[in-house]
Amino acid sequence: MYSKAMATQTRQTRGQVRVLEVLKQSRQPISAQALFAELRQQDHPLGLATIYRALEALKREGFVQSRLTPQGEALYTIVAEDHQHFMTCLHCGTSTPLDACPFQELEQQWRQSSTFQLYYHTLELFGICLLCQNAPNS
Amino acid sequence: MYSKAMATQTRQTRGQVRVLEVLKQSRQPISAQALFAELRQQDHPLGLATIYRALEALKREGFVQSRLTPQGEALYTIVAEDHQHFMTCLHCGTSTPLDACPFQELEQQWRQSSTFQLYYHTLELFGICLLCQNAPNS
DNA sequence: TTATCTGCAAACCGTTTGCAAAGTT
DNA sequence: AACTTTGCAAACGGTTTGCAGATAA
């Protein structure tokens, strides 16, 4: 599910290339709309539909993963070597990847002890980041 | 966030009462649309808007919690004593609550070692349930 | 030329909101 | 009478789809 290894490199479309470029340079999980704005700013405008289609293809090919904000907006990231979880600041919205999946060892045991055939899991931490804790205003 | 204790009992509206009833008798996390259908079947029809407003109030008062499907549809459950995670079958969609939060002990350590002020977390397991593993068809 | 990709606009779907009618105190 | 809750329909926001024109093999 998260393995880049499964990514069989099919020929890439212009849309996929450009979306992937922005995704690579972006340090934050980014929405389709934000991609749209960014691409337009870089003078490589791309239709929203094209962006969604590119993202879907990149996900299918294992280059990109997505998750949903609590409001239901999809955020996209290039997949890391391993799968990745984020802690997200409820104040400023910044997402920081966790160093490691805290659920890793547990997952192993779990696979053996349970009849439920585990494919993948999601985990996300929400709270207030250091910057916002120290921020004077609001 | 998940504590029923915080639920200050304000007077409940008809909508809230009926929604809560269905929620209590439902063994599965249930969508607003499904609530709508169920209530209609029980001859206590309620407008969708009312259902959403009731759910929002019940969440605010701490009786109900919600999570998002990968497709972005909100599913609602009454809050358990403790907070709860689910494992969800990718084939039949059934959600089963986990006995305990696997992140519990880790969370403690985490609060001390990190500068990120943790409020809450989400965790969900996806895979194939035993029934679907053994199902002959499809 | 044949197949694929793109952009636009319209459709979609879950959710929210404005408003007037119904219900409550 | 003043306030709250409800239902309807319209609006909304993110995403998907149909289709015709552009692009690539």
Annotate A101-131 with DSSP letters as a single string: -TTHHHHHHHHHH-SSEEEEEEEEEEEE-HH
Mutate to test the interface with A, among B122, B124, B128, B133 (most CBs of A within 10 A): B122
> Is the Cβ–Cβ distance between B127 and A119 less than 8 Å?
yes
Q: Does A12 touch chain B (CB under 8 A)?
A: no
Which nucleotide minimizes the distance between its C1' and the CA of A69? D14
> In this structure, is the CB of residue A48 within 7 Å of any atom belonging to strand C?
yes
Q: What is the pLDDT of residue A62?
A: 92
Residue A62 region by backbone torsions, left for phi larger than 0, else alpha for psi between -120 and 50, else beta: left
- Chain B, nearest residue to A95 by Cα: B116
The Cα A131–Cα A41 span in angstroms is: 28
Residue whose CA lies closest to nucleotide C17 C1': B49
| pLDDT single digits (tens) B57-93 | 999 999 999 999 999 999 999 998 778 899 999 999 9
- pLDDT at residue A9 tops 80: no
Report the greatest alpha carbon distance in chain B. 54
**Residues in chain B, total:** 138
Does the pTM surpass 0.75? The reply is yes
A 65-84 residues with CB < 8 A to B:
68, 70, 72, 74
Positive or negative, the CA dihedral A57, A95, B103, B85 is negative
